[in-house]
Amino acid sequence: MKVTAFGEIMLRLSPDNRDRFMQEKYFRTYFGGSEANTLIALSSLGVDTSFVTKLPENDIADACIRELKGNGVETAFIARGGKRIGIYYCENGASIRGGKVIYDRQFSSISEADKSDFCWNEILKDTDIFHFTGITTALSDELASITLDAVKQAKEKGIIISCDLNYRRTLWSEEKANRVMREFMPYVDILFANTGSALDVFGINGKDDEAVMLKISEEFGIKTIAFTTRECRNADENILGGILLADGRFFSSKKTEVNIVDRVGGGDCFDAGILYGLINKLSPEETVEFANICNAYKHTVRGDYCRLDAEEIKAICSGKADGRIKR
Amino acid sequence: MKVTAFGEIMLRLSPDNRDRFMQEKYFRTYFGGSEANTLIALSSLGVDTSFVTKLPENDIADACIRELKGNGVETAFIARGGKRIGIYYCENGASIRGGKVIYDRQFSSISEADKSDFCWNEILKDTDIFHFTGITTALSDELASITLDAVKQAKEKGIIISCDLNYRRTLWSEEKANRVMREFMPYVDILFANTGSALDVFGINGKDDEAVMLKISEEFGIKTIAFTTRECRNADENILGGILLADGRFFSSKKTEVNIVDRVGGGDCFDAGILYGLINKLSPEETVEFANICNAYKHTVRGDYCRLDAEEIKAICSGKADGRIKR
Amino acid sequence: MKVTAFGEIMLRLSPDNRDRFMQEKYFRTYFGGSEANTLIALSSLGVDTSFVTKLPENDIADACIRELKGNGVETAFIARGGKRIGIYYCENGASIRGGKVIYDRQFSSISEADKSDFCWNEILKDTDIFHFTGITTALSDELASITLDAVKQAKEKGIIISCDLNYRRTLWSEEKANRVMREFMPYVDILFANTGSALDVFGINGKDDEAVMLKISEEFGIKTIAFTTRECRNADENILGGILLADGRFFSSKKTEVNIVDRVGGGDCFDAGILYGLINKLSPEETVEFANICNAYKHTVRGDYCRLDAEEIKAICSGKADGRIKR
Amino acid sequence: MKVTAFGEIMLRLSPDNRDRFMQEKYFRTYFGGSEANTLIALSSLGVDTSFVTKLPENDIADACIRELKGNGVETAFIARGGKRIGIYYCENGASIRGGKVIYDRQFSSISEADKSDFCWNEILKDTDIFHFTGITTALSDELASITLDAVKQAKEKGIIISCDLNYRRTLWSEEKANRVMREFMPYVDILFANTGSALDVFGINGKDDEAVMLKISEEFGIKTIAFTTRECRNADENILGGILLADGRFFSSKKTEVNIVDRVGGGDCFDAGILYGLINKLSPEETVEFANICNAYKHTVRGDYCRLDAEEIKAICSGKADGRIKR
Amino acid sequence: MKVTAFGEIMLRLSPDNRDRFMQEKYFRTYFGGSEANTLIALSSLGVDTSFVTKLPENDIADACIRELKGNGVETAFIARGGKRIGIYYCENGASIRGGKVIYDRQFSSISEADKSDFCWNEILKDTDIFHFTGITTALSDELASITLDAVKQAKEKGIIISCDLNYRRTLWSEEKANRVMREFMPYVDILFANTGSALDVFGINGKDDEAVMLKISEEFGIKTIAFTTRECRNADENILGGILLADGRFFSSKKTEVNIVDRVGGGDCFDAGILYGLINKLSPEETVEFANICNAYKHTVRGDYCRLDAEEIKAICSGKADGRIKR
Amino acid sequence: MKVTAFGEIMLRLSPDNRDRFMQEKYFRTYFGGSEANTLIALSSLGVDTSFVTKLPENDIADACIRELKGNGVETAFIARGGKRIGIYYCENGASIRGGKVIYDRQFSSISEADKSDFCWNEILKDTDIFHFTGITTALSDELASITLDAVKQAKEKGIIISCDLNYRRTLWSEEKANRVMREFMPYVDILFANTGSALDVFGINGKDDEAVMLKISEEFGIKTIAFTTRECRNADENILGGILLADGRFFSSKKTEVNIVDRVGGGDCFDAGILYGLINKLSPEETVEFANICNAYKHTVRGDYCRLDAEEIKAICSGKADGRIKR
């Protein structure tokens, strides 16, 4: 099985540890973006992947491609050109102090890409799952249109369509998100969201997660929906969970408490975990548990993405979460 | 409103993270001192400030002045000369292991300053609040005398006098502290302390914080007294609170639990928070809550001081202390 | 009193903080090994120590010897020669993610040492306690034989024999460990172990720690046995305890919860704490409490070993574990 | 005397030492821009300065302003708003390998600023010299127009106009630069350039530097022109010189060979040196020598700007360039 | 054209800058080995490459493979298993102090590999050039035999055989090297060496480089031979050159002086440069010039290998070696 | 042979590389002092050494002692107590920019030591050479008196007296240095100086180095005098030499050009080299050559002292200074 994803990958600039912006004179660099993060996680779990985006012709973008390649993600369909790679500055929170993100992603090559940059007929060859998120569609009207085109072509080829709502308030209004994302829903086979994005994008809420998931499923006719839940004690400690609606039933993971090293990209690993379960035909119970631990595990690794070892994740699912040293 | 403070600013040398002294070959440098820390916090909150001290004529002191200036603190009245900038070595504790401070501040320019270094008439022009601490007065007899002089001149000009007891055992005995600090009390309008310093300096104790505050208020006729409370679970986790005696009534903040990044300078931010409340005419309830969160917030930022954003502090006061990322 | 220990000291290569292997391009280097760690702790507690091993003739091994010397451990009996210094790669865990060790210690100079490298008659002169662990004896048949020789000569000289079972699954099988270690037991005066190693090496288990200790004591006639207990909440938080069988009675320490900086070498500091208690004639109650805090304290310091201050450990034993800054 | 400058200040992201982009995972951050660099140098030489630009409302730009303030540059006339702070990536060359700059400065707040952002009447009050460069005028047509407006107002107020041609090929074509810059020349009192920019911008060349300077002087009626000369042996070693046309005569500095630490901003320090000479009424001979050593000195300090000590520069001018330690 | 190479890739551990071993507590890690270095250089020049070796099953080796992949080198034929990845410690020299290498490569997976690890028939499919060095053949008798087998199979398939003598004194004696390497010579089409290795391995010397090359050519019937020349002023400055014997004529590059950042892997880039010239049908004059600049360029980049840009190398060949910044 | 030295050892705080003070937020720490530097060099050359000083009772001084011990220097006679360890801040120069030292050594424990801190009778037991410098005697009148006492006792015991003039302008005037140092000269057997210190301390100059050495020898009756010579091209490149007056004849080393990594402590290694030559009965020609290369070698290693390998130094003396890698 091969997963192809479409979206933006950015250069992240972060001070180390719990430092504030510019407290130190160095930024740790990372590359990351929701869709690419999901692919790298899938790749480390043994799934074939290909990332589609547009990046400028410069040394920074070259390094980004080397990092994707090194992580086993195919980069043959990355268009080159345009003005810049998007940047975001990110500082960790600590205790009562929240983390902080400053986006500087406007005018990036991908957000200014046009249809001629991507030949979906070729790109989608051999693909089994096509994955995108609400970030991709928010980058520009053109990109929403390109994505819709890709989704339609994929659907025709019998490719499974996977979408994470991933609402970003700084990119578009709730109104516009609603209008655009509704166009996509008829094609979506697997939807990733949470109560927040469901409300922001579709204006759907309910007495609990399951109620929201049910409404979405009924409204859009989507059979497979996966939600993450997150209870924030403070910037250092969160409690994570996952709920999967599949075959008309709800499956909930155990709640997992994590001490946070880096919380960026947790949801992307959750997506990877669900897709891994589907690809490897885990039961829904196993799948949602696996995905929740993928999410939690990411919180213990610095950076936007993390490599996952299926055996290690399964062992933690089975209760080996005591953190002992493996010699 | 403008706050002028008088005291010592030192070079802090610390190993990173939780390392012991000399475990690594590098010291992270910081500049800090109780009074300057309070001013930088106030400056970041939008208050005009001026720091008065004496520093030697060398590149290290120049850098210190650049840092104060960059943080918006006026440095025009810093005298130059003398032998050295005071130093303190500081290592973080971890869990059951306590932190450790080694002072090397003797013979510093400010501790050997004399009256001719400061023209209070000029310095206090435009000042609304004059702030000093029990550290300033402990540095030398001459400095205690200079400070008393400043306090008297300020009082005559109708300037509010703010004092933090800040008892430092390595600088003087309880007996001497008692003798010297009692001379200042008749002039003090706002007193910062806690049960520890109240006992050490004035020999005053009581069944609880309020009892001690009341005794001080009665003995010295001080109307506004603010106490911090600190419960130490271990070197990583403290529970902080604040109590304000104002208009004859006690106002207590909620207790706030913090995971500690750097606990130096917390009390100085508490002082800044109280002064900010007074200057901006917050209610006593709001003021003590604001000050306690300033204190707690400082514990999440490395270094002796931290910049505070009034809106962010107020949001945490209102319950947004879950540490979520602000995008 | 002087303690001589025999074993392997390795170069540890670790990414900083909670990073995964090769996430950063730098390895922090440490030197460490169970027996050397115990000696450095003892040396910092004021006990004379000498470490016996074999190291290659190169700059890395020279640095290792300088570090031992700097920490006050005698290095006069370290043989030089052979192929290499053993290496182990070690990454910290975080929260639900366990730590990880990759050993690269085969063919090290000490594991290929032969009898001619050590003149025990000279080495053991002035020694009061001879300490080794189940790691030393697992390195090679020759090394087990050399150690047995050393133990017998020491016994003849009236030297106390101290042994930590320290079972390492990657070095030998349970069967072999059983066969070899049983040969040593008749000579052992003080045995360090826990329920895990007791089961792995001797196949001995029981309803609780005391039951296991009793069986060992009865089977091998060992009067003094010390066990560590460890409850792992996750990779960041452990609860530690110690039990000492002495004079036919059991003495248990209080349980101590630690936030972990680096858990390698905790048991080695426990051993040092027990030996310190015996050497300084602390009561069994004091000894096991002291040793448990030595173990816990090590968890707050990065590296394989840590220096211990007897007064500081005793203060924590007395309840001063609130982590306040010592100014 | 007070110097006001107008231009862009950017965030520079550089790998350390001689590393290539992304060879390490960290970028050292610097703030810099031609006009700001000149001001910081002037400020360190004791001249009052004010920097005029536009920066976005975020923590990165706040840090930039703190750095300017800390270096004594007035920031009161920096407009806030717009989308982003410009960025440039910069790696050092080494030996035969040239350095490399990747600009990501499009859409920066200053390049999209409009006339309403700057009230020149207020800004220019108390200003004696107004300084800008060909970078400022290249950022946008609007900015060229704003600058021209500023120059005209300044001229009316009797302020000296200082301009560095500073041609940047990536910002505009030679044709456009020619058209725009010619409009400014009638107002310029002091012009900084070199043979390269004179040719690129004005199409003026000649048999040697003096010939080019003479042509410019005659064509535009500019009395004071200063050229830098640079002979590049390789990326590590350059030979620098300066030529000043003043009072109708040419004054040439000695040639100075430098081993390069960071060559960015050398010319900006040359400009500062010339302006310092004029402000402090040094002779033309002294002025050009002083400016050339300012340029050379900058090459020995990492970052975009460097602080200069007039006494130290003069001592080097007098021949004390042997690099001995000053104790 | 595709180049397949066979050999060892190691983990290099180096202190930064000019530091001595263990002067700092950190080792910078690199992966490198002569054959892999050549492939990465070729890959960056646009040539298809595949690296054949054996690496253990652990996280360190996984990272090595990710780095090869990221650099575009095919890793499909890397066998996994065995005990360890070879290590070498390397410190830079400075001025009169020479650099230093400590090898710890014995017992590495590749040096203990056997015939069953490599299926040459499959590996060599699509390969145009097979490259190995005298290091590969020195690792073990088995590896020499495997390499000979590969060379014979390659020859049969009409693949060009490329060999770098690369004599390593610590791996084998001159006698053994002579005996083994002579067996390979009849198959070699392109030989890389210098006067040192020619003498060490074959006992061949002569009045100058050309004389030695001629003797080798005559004795072994090799038509294409490339020599590097190196004149060492000190550890910081070398003068490099290249000589190519092709079509019965000698072609010498210009001499290039370099200030050294890291001299490891220079020869490997020279090899890549010659192979690039052959593949891209450069003239012999161009080829040897190109290869010499590849060698020199590597000296300016830290690490074992460096990425090369053909246009940049050619520009330097054309005289643009002044190290100016490319904006 | 054993060398005992008496003096001050300080904590050095330096920015890395060529950075200015406070340009980075970190100081690299070093311990160093002229006499200790000489001892560490001697110890690395195989000579027994003991360092006598006074250090405070704190963790920083403990680390200093561990470093001396680790380097094989006996620390048994280091007195503990007093107020502080002396500090000096040191930044490297670069090219035309000179290095810079800021001393903060006043009131250090050793500079306030008194006679009761040192029992010379015991200290000098087994000592063959007693070494001190003009820094020791400049620290205080008491210390000069203590040193004179030590020298007299040593002389009585037949110990060789070695003295380096080492004039430090910030510690005392030329007049005082002259008065004090003259008292010591009658006891000195080996004197280290250069034309600068000879003039500063004794007011002796001459047409060349030899002339000055002769005058000193005649005036004070000292038979063995060693001078260093230093020609400074710039902060990166110096040319070093040594001259030895022995047995009434002059012996000059070759001149050695060095690219400088860290020039502090070069003279101290020269002293060690001369003493090594005397102890090991090298010829005067060999001794001065050896000492000069020790001096030059130190310039290539960062820190105050460096470890020397006698074989490596001799190889460089024999002309192997081409900086090739030793594999």
Give the model confidence (pLDDT) of E137-177 as tens digits: 999 999 999 999 999 999 999 999 999 999 999 999 999 99
Kindly state the average pLDDT of the residues E17-27: 97
Cβ E187 vs Cβ E161: under 8 Å: yes
Look at residue A128 and tell me whether its pLDDT is greater than 90: yes
Dihedral pair phi/psi, residue E248, rounded to 5°: 75, 5
| C302–chain B nearest CA distance, Å | 7
CB contact under 8 A, A69 and E69: yes
pLDDT, chain E, mean: 97
In b/e form, how buried is each residue of C263-282, taking b as 16+ CB within 10 angstroms? bbbbbbbbbbbbbbbbbeeb
Count H helices, E strands: chain C?
A: 11, 15
CB contact under 8 A, A325 and C100: yes
* Tens digits of residue pLDDT in F242-270: 999 998 999 999 999 999 999 999 999 99
CA geometry: angle E197, E200, E203, nearest 5 deg: 110
In b/e form, how buried is each residue of A191-217, taking b as 16+ CB within 10 angstroms? bbbbbebbbbbbebeeeebeebbbebb
Task: Supply the pLDDT for residue A321.
Answer: 87
Query: How many other C-beta atoms can be found within 10 angstroms of the C-beta atom of residue A126?
Result: 12
Question: What spatial distance separates the first Cα and last Cα of chain E, rounded to whole Å?
Answer: 33
Nearest CA in chain F to B303: F25
Nearest CA in chain F to A24: F25
pLDDT bin (cut points 50, 70, 90) of residue C28 is very high
Kindly state the average pLDDT of the residues F166-183: 97
> What stretches of E131-173 show up as alpha helix (H) in DSSP?
134-138, 141-156
CB contact under 8 A, F300 and E95: yes
Nearest to B253 by CA among B264, B239, B266: B239
C11: number of CA atoms within 13 Å, CB side? 31
Look at residue A187 and tell me whether its pLDDT is greater than 90: yes
CB contact under 8 A, D26 and A22: no
Helix H or strand E segment including B209: helix B209-220
Task: Supply the pLDDT for residue A229.
Answer: 98
Task: Supply the pLDDT for residue F75.
Answer: 98
CB contact under 8 A, F232 and D17: no
E80 vs C224: CA distance, rounded Å = 47
Task: Supply the pLDDT for residue C58.
Answer: 98
3-state class of B150 per DSSP?
Answer: helix
List of chain E residues whose C-beta atoms are within 8 Å of the C-beta of residue C100? 59
CB contact under 8 A, A102 and D27: no
CB contact under 8 A, F325 and E100: yes
- Closest partner residue to C26 among E26, E63, E104, by Cβ? E26
Kindly state the average pLDDT of the residues E24-52: 98
Give partners of F (≥3 CB pairs < 8 A).
A, B, C, D, E
CB contact under 8 A, A263 and B303: no
Task: Supply the pLDDT for residue C311.
Answer: 97
Give partners of C (≥3 CB pairs < 8 A).
A, B, D, E, F
* Tens digits of residue pLDDT in F121-163: 999 999 999 999 999 999 999 999 999 999 999 999 999 999 9
| D101–chain E nearest CA distance, Å | 5
| D26–chain C nearest CA distance, Å | 10
pLDDT, chain B, mean: 97
Task: Supply the pLDDT for residue C321.
Answer: 87
Q: Which residues have CB under 8 Å from F315's CB, separation 6+?
A: none
Token readout for B308 is 């505070």
Look at residue C238 and tell me whether its pLDDT is greater than 90: yes
Kindly state the average pLDDT of the residues A66-88: 98
DSSP E39-92: HHHHHHTT-EEEEE-EE-SSHHHHHHHHHHHHTT-B-TT-EE-SS---EEEEE-
Task: Supply the pLDDT for residue B314.
Answer: 98
Task: Supply the pLDDT for residue A304.
Answer: 98
D307 vs D269: CA distance, rounded Å = 9
Residue boundaries of the structural domains of chain C: 2-317
Task: Supply the pLDDT for residue B27.
Answer: 98
B143 vs B3: CA distance, rounded Å = 20
Cβ D262 vs Cβ D92: under 8 Å: yes
Look at residue B135 and tell me whether its pLDDT is greater than 90: yes
Cβ D134 vs Cβ D181: under 8 Å: yes
- Closest partner residue to E259 among D20, D95, D169, by Cβ? D95
Kindly state the average pLDDT of the residues D81-91: 98
* Tens digits of residue pLDDT in B90-111: 999 999 999 999 999 999 999 9
Cβ A235 vs Cβ A212: under 8 Å: no
C92 vs A324: CA distance, rounded Å = 10
CB contact under 8 A, B89 and F60: yes
- Closest partner residue to D316 among F96, F232, F236, by Cβ? F96
Task: Supply the pLDDT for residue D327.
Answer: 85
List of chain B residues whose C-beta atoms are within 8 Å of the C-beta of residue A232? 322-324
C262 vs C130: CA distance, rounded Å = 27
| E190–chain F nearest CA distance, Å | 26
CB contact under 8 A, A96 and B256: yes
Task: Could you please state the CATH topology (level 3) that the domain comprising C2-317 is classified under.
Answer: UDP-N-acetylmuramoyl-L-alanine:D-glutamate ligase (3.40.1190)
E28 vs E15: CA distance, rounded Å = 6
Give partners of D (≥3 CB pairs < 8 A).
A, B, C, E, F
Query: How many other C-beta atoms can be found within 10 angstroms of the C-beta atom of residue F262?
Result: 21
List of chain C residues whose C-beta atoms are within 8 Å of the C-beta of residue F67? 70
Task: Supply the pLDDT for residue D317.
Answer: 97
Query: How many other C-beta atoms can be found within 10 angstroms of the C-beta atom of residue B249?
Result: 9
Place of tokens 């997976």: E109
Cβ E98 vs Cβ E132: under 8 Å: no
Phi-psi map region of F235: left, alpha, beta (phi>0 left; psi -120 to 50 alpha): alpha
Task: Supply the pLDDT for residue A33.
Answer: 98
CA B316 to chain centre: 22
Instruction: Check residues C119 and B321 and name the one with the higher pLDDT.
Output: C119
C181 vs C163: CA distance, rounded Å = 10
Look at residue B321 and tell me whether its pLDDT is greater than 90: no
Query: Residues of chain E whose C-beta is under 8 A from some C-beta in A?
Result: 66-67, 69-72
Query: Residues of chain F whose C-beta is under 8 A from some C-beta in C?
Result: 66-67, 69-72
* Tens digits of residue pLDDT in F223-240: 999 999 999 999 999 999
Look at residue A327 and tell me whether its pLDDT is greater than 90: no
C171 vs B120: CA distance, rounded Å = 75
Task: Supply the pLDDT for residue D321.
Answer: 87
Kindly state the average pLDDT of the residues D203-211: 97
Place of tokens 């003479």: D214
Question: Strands (DSSP E) along D224-265, which ranges?
Answer: 224-234, 237-246, 249-252, 256-259
Interface predicted TM-score (ipTM): 0.96
Nearest to B90 by CA among B30, B150, B48: B30
Task: Supply the pLDDT for residue A281.
Answer: 98
Question: Distances from the Cα of E317 to the Cαs of A107, C48, D97, E127, E295, in angstroms?
Answer: 37, 65, 12, 29, 12
Look at residue F321 and tell me whether its pLDDT is greater than 90: no
List of chain A residues whose C-beta atoms are within 8 Å of the C-beta of residue F25? 24-25
List of chain F residues whose C-beta atoms are within 8 Å of the C-beta of residue A24? 25
* Tens digits of residue pLDDT in C183-218: 999 999 999 999 999 999 999 999 999 999 999 999
Dihedral pair phi/psi, residue A232, rounded to 5°: -100, 110
Query: Residues of chain A whose C-beta is under 8 A from some C-beta in F?
Result: 24-25
pLDDT, chain D, mean: 97
E271 vs B19: CA distance, rounded Å = 47
Look at residue A151 and tell me whether its pLDDT is greater than 90: yes
| Beta pairing, strands B48-52 & B2-6 | parallel
Look at residue F327 and tell me whether its pLDDT is greater than 90: no
Cβ D110 vs Cβ D55: under 8 Å: yes
Best residue of E17, E19, E29, E88 to probe chain C, by most C CBs closer than 10 Å: E29
Look at residue D199 and tell me whether its pLDDT is greater than 90: yes
F68 vs F82: CA distance, rounded Å = 20
List of chain A residues whose C-beta atoms are within 8 Å of the C-beta of residue F24? 25
CB contact under 8 A, D327 and F20: no
3-state class of B139 per DSSP?
Answer: coil
Best residue of F48, F62, F66 to probe chain C, by most C CBs closer than 10 Å: F66
B97 vs C116: CA distance, rounded Å = 44
